[in-house]
Structure 1
Amino acid sequence: MERNLAQTAKLFGISRNELIRRMRESELLNERNLPRYPTRDREYLRTKEGQWFHPKAGMQYSESTRIKQAGISWLAQRLKLQLPTPPEEKRHVA
């Protein structure tokens, strides 16, 4: 499972802008909010490439950062964030 920056920030209980600021200060993101070291951090972060067709402008391309599942605890440790507590098990065996 992968999360975008907004979903990851919500998981940690901070804003997307705060997460981006901390990641930039820790040199994990570049000025375009993409992984600064994509090869080094490939186990935790990745760049998602997208494209769509605009009727007047033609093909449009985008890139965004995705945090992999293994990157959640890694990011919490790097940024000194509190790891979210797992939800309580709601299934009960009869």
Structure 2
Amino acid sequence: MERTLAQTATHLGLTRPQLIARMREKGLLKGNLPADLKRDGEYLRIKDSPWYDEKYGMQYSQSTRVKQSGIRWLAEQLDIDLPALPANRRDVA
């Protein structure tokens, strides 16, 4: 599962602008895209979104996605305490 920066921010108890600012401060983002995918590719990725515009032809945009493994990693990078994972009720005998 992947999350947008807005979804990730909500999960971490931040707003999207706060998350982006903190990620830029730590050198994790350049603009709104990952600064170093060789280093952080296990946790972040770039999503390409092409679409066709009648006037301008093919248009392209890119956005950052946070992989499932990136949530806890990002919290550690930004010094955010995540709540403990809830116990799985199915584990009870």
Question: Structure 1, residues 4-27: CA drift from partner, whole Å, max 9, x if none?
Answer: 100000001110000000000000
1:34 and 2:33 matched: yes
Counterpart of 1:62 in 2: which secondary structure? Answer: strand
Number of matched pairs? 91
Query: Which residue pairs with 2:11 in the alignment?
Result: 11
| Gaps in structure 2 of 5+ consecutive residues | none
1:23 and 2:49 matched: no
- Name whichever structure is richer in strand by fraction: 2
1:39 to partner: Cα distance = 1.1
RMSD: 1.7
1:85 to partner: Cα distance = 4.3
Q: TM-score, normalised by structure 1?
A: 0.87
Counterpart of 2:38 in 1: which secondary structure? Answer: coil
Query: Which residue pairs with 2:79 in the alignment?
Result: 80
Runs of 4+ in 1 over 2 A off after TM superposition: 84-91
Query: Which residue pairs with 1:63 in the alignment?
Result: 62
Shifted more, 76-85 versus 59-68: the winner is 76-85
Q: Kindly, what percent of the aligned residue pairs are identical?
A: 56
- Name whichever structure is richer in helix by fraction: 2
| Gaps in structure 1 of 5+ consecutive residues | none
